Amino acid sequence: MTVFLSTLAPGLGRASSSADGSWSVETVMPGTAFRALATDPRDASVVWAGTQGAGVQRSNDAGATWHPAGLDGAIVKSILVCPDGRIYAGVKPAAVWLTRDDGMTWTELLGFRKVRRPFWFSPAEPPFSPYVQGLAVEGQTVLAGIEAGAVVRSLDGGATWHGHRSGSLRDCHSLATAHGRFYEGGGTGGGAAMSKDGGAEWTRPLGHDRHYGWACAADVADPDLWYFSAAPDVRAHSDHADAAIYRCRGVGACERLGGGLPSPLNAMPYALLTGPQPGAITAGLSNGEVWRSADAGDHWQRVVTLPGVERSMVMLAEVG
């Protein structure tokens, strides 16, 4: 069984496949304002979520039911689970928290406070304080992306932090990692960026005409093959996004993908997921449509339609 989960406003969209190829689509937890989702690499049925005021939530059954997992009352904008059991949560106002015991106890990473800056400011939602929108971890290297403010880095698991990384986008919307490299989708200033040196220096791709980036993802087998979504500007958050999905090879020129995707693409691709096979990429659009390509974006097919994708989506393959 394959399951897709997406954040709504509020609630979660959930689509599960059946053996005959059909899909069951529903809305779960309609009273909870989910904001971020993360799969658990230790267990294919476990999903973690950040919420607007209900802290961290955990599901042990592929998103069917949920229960609290700490940070009660917090606005959790991003969450990430590491293979070794570390779980990081990015919150609003901007701070990073860590648990090593599956949410029983959380510790604020106080070193992060030293890199916060007064000019960090997000116009996205009141109150207009910045927040940690993106998280990415590779070993002991931790990156946190602020909407809107900076991309900052820790080399010791989050104990100490260093300020904004050269070339990265200060209006960070997403971060991803693969094979020691890092990727960013961000607002005005270039749309996307890539780092080959553990997040120290960043390079922005060429050849794209939309610079308000959002989602990013890298192929599971080839770190030079990566993708990002972008719109011309903040119309990304409307019904006429005029968006595009781009495919990049390293830090050179990128290309706009078609191959069956809606044209014009007026529903923003808020989510890009790669795998589990090399060359496979899945896009979750704001209108709920889920599109999938098995050949690195050359050809696409619509898989299912969720109630919506309000910023975050995950896929759980071969569960149940």
Residue 318, pLDDT above cutoff 90? no
- What's the whole-number average pLDDT of the chain? 96
Share of the chain above pLDDT 90, in %: 91
Residue 124, pLDDT above cutoff 90? no
Distance CA 4, CA 146 (A): 26
What pTM was computed for the model? 0.96
Question: What Cα–Cα distance (Å) separates residue 89 from each residue in 41, 97, 135, 207?
Answer: 16, 5, 8, 34
Domain ranges (residues) in the chain:
76-307
Residue 319, pLDDT above cutoff 80? no
Neighbours of 182 (CB within 10 A): 31
pLDDT of res. 59:
98
Q: Average pLDDT of 189-196?
A: 92
For residue 135, give the nearest of 78, 179, 184, 87 by alpha carbon. Answer: 78
Predicted confidence (pLDDT) per residue in 213-248, tens digit:
999 999 999 999 999 999 999 999 999 999 999 999
* C-alpha dihedral sign at 216, 221, 222, 223: positive
Beta carbons of 22 and 304 less than 8 angstroms apart = no
Neighbours of 121 (CB within 10 A): 14
pLDDT of res. 320:
65
For tokens 């299912």, name the residue: 304
Reported as a pLDDT band with limits 50, 70 and 90, residue 252 is: confident
- The region of weakest confidence among 32-41, 75-84, 272-281, 311-320 is 311-320
Beta carbons of 79 and 89 less than 8 angstroms apart = yes
Beta carbons of 249 and 222 less than 8 angstroms apart = no
Beta carbons of 175 and 216 less than 8 angstroms apart = yes
Question: What Cα–Cα distance (Å) separates residue 91 from each residue in 9, 107, 129, 293?
Answer: 18, 13, 11, 33
Query: And the tokens for 254?
Result: 């990128």
Collect all residues with Cβ–Cβ distance below 8 Å to 173 and sequence separation of at least 6: 133, 134, 145, 147, 185, 186, 187, 213, 214, 215
Beta carbons of 91 and 151 less than 8 angstroms apart = no
Phi/psi for 109 (5° steps) reads: -85, 90
Distance CA 290, CA 313 (A): 10
For residue 228, give the nearest of 158, 281, 267 by alpha carbon. Answer: 281
Distance CA 307, CA 272 (A): 17
**CATH number belonging to the domain at 76-307, selected among 3.30.1360.20, 2.40.100.10, 3.40.50.620, 2.130.10.10:** 2.130.10.10
